[in-house]
Amino acid sequence: MVKTKITILLLFLLMILGLVSCKKDNTPERTEGIGTGNVAPDFTLPDISNNDQSLSDYRGKLVLVQFWASWCSFCRAENPELVTLLDEYKEKGLEILGVSLDTESDNWMNAIEDDHLNFVHLSDLKGFNSPIAETYEVSNIPQMFLVDENGVIILITSSTSTVAGKVEQYY
């Protein structure tokens, strides 16, 4: 009889513990750092005309921040799809900021021209040592961050087709 009462009591305690563990976590969401749901860190970099551009300049628009380099074959393979994506959604407000991790200006400029890239290009020509690459925790490329009109990261991926699906849902 005592064993039965103890067993029932233990089952009851496990049930209560299970209910409590299913409770929504009321911990506030992270708003800093790199992750979906977090505000994208602002940055300023020179464009191909050496004019400073900031991510915050594009608030109110859906922005794809694409980290790439001219020497990266995977990046270059993604470029035609990015051009098509921008052609399709630019009128609706999509912007693409290509952040090059090149270290040689000529290589960077030639890749933009050769791939017929129709979006904004930024770089400090510091490669993976760029403070922006470090801030965004970029350790391999291509790496893309889709940022909504409020500056919140809504997707992190290395695939343009994944970005295209999210952009299509967004609009």
Q: What is the pLDDT of residues 137-166, one digit of tens each?
A: 999 999 999 999 999 999 999 999 999 999
User: Which residue, among 105, 16, 95, 25, has the nearest Cα to 61 in the 3D structure?
Assistant: 95
**Is residue 122 scored above 50 in pLDDT?**
yes
- Decide the pairing of beta strands 143-147 and 63-68: antiparallel
What DSSP state is assigned to residue 47? B
Per-residue pLDDT, 30? 43
CB atoms within 10 A of CB 110: 13
Q: For 2-45, how does the pLDDT look when each residue is reduced to its tens digit (9 = 90+)?
A: 666 655 554 444 444 443 333 323 333 444 579 999 999 999 99
What is the per-residue DSSP string for 72-102?
-HHHHHHHHHHHHHHHHHGGGT-EEEEEE--
Quick check: 117 and 82 in contact, CB under 8 A?
A: yes
One-letter amino acid at 92 equals K
pTM, full prediction:
0.80
Give alpha helix (H) positions in the chain: 2-21, 73-89, 105-114, 131-135, 160-170
> Given pLDDT bands bounded at 50, 70 and 90, which one contains residue 111?
very high
For the chain, domains (ranges, CATH) are 27-170 (3.40.30.10)
Q: For 65-105, how does the pLDDT look when each residue is reduced to its tens digit (9 = 90+)?
A: 999 999 999 999 999 999 999 999 999 999 999 999 999 99
